[in-house]
Structures are given as C-alpha cells and as structure tokens.
Structure 1
C-alpha cells in the first residue's frame, strides 16, 4: 500500500496569481482582473463605513427623505 506524500510548505506559491500571471493583489490601473478585486474591497469598506455612520445616528438617507417630505 503506497502512502500519500505531503507537500512541504516551501512548495507553496508566494503570490496569488491571476489569469494573466500577475499578482492578484497588485494595484494595477486599467481594465484587468485585479481591478474587480479592488473594486469589491473598496465597495465593502464603503458599505461598512456608511453602516457605522448610520448606526451612530447620522443617516444621509433619512435626512434626504425628511427634506423631500416622506
């Protein structure tokens, strides 16, 4: 019965490569897979910031609805 060999930790890649072989976490300007990752990360940070702002009592949406009469 053969034993399954385990990969040593030194064989792991040092960077996460994308479809084009470039580091997926690199901040590269233009239309590329990295832009989608950064767009999602920044959108999540913005959503969390607005959620915390709203929980603190400063609601932009509530103020706008109050101004237009709802």
Structure 2
C-alpha cells in the first residue's frame, strides 16, 4: 500500500520542517556573525 499522506502545502509535516530549517538558518547566521565580526550585509558586500 502506497503512502498517500500529503507532504506539500500548509500541512503540519511541511510546517514542522520549515520551522526547523528556519531555526537552523538563524543559528548558523548568528554563529557566522560572531566568528567573523561582520554582519550578514557586510559579508555579502552591501554593508
């Protein structure tokens, strides 16, 4: 029997992973700023 659960759109599964990836991105961005001493805009040449 095939798995017929929907994993796209505004469903709990997709929203859970979206939240997890957003939290990881925030922590990685914060760690990069701490390690380099530059903000994200300065790192990409806009600041």
Q: Which TM-score applies when normalising by structure 2?
A: 0.64
SS in 1 for 2:13: helix
Unaligned runs of 5+ in 1: 1-21, 23-27, 66-70
How far 1:42 sits from its partner (Å)? 0.3
Instruction: Give the aligned CA root-mean-square deviation in angstroms.
Output: 1.9
- Note if contact 2:29-2:40 (Cα within 8 Å) is conserved in structure 1: no
Corresponding residue for residue 18 of structure 1: none
Corresponding residue for residue 39 of structure 2: 59
How far 1:35 sits from its partner (Å)? 0.5
Moved over 2 A (4+): none
Task: Decide which structure has greater helix share.
Answer: 2
SS in 1 for 2:22: helix
Aligned partners of 1:35, 1:48: CA distance in 2, in Å? 20
Residue 50 (str. 1) matches residue 4 (str. 2): no
SS in 2 for 1:54: helix
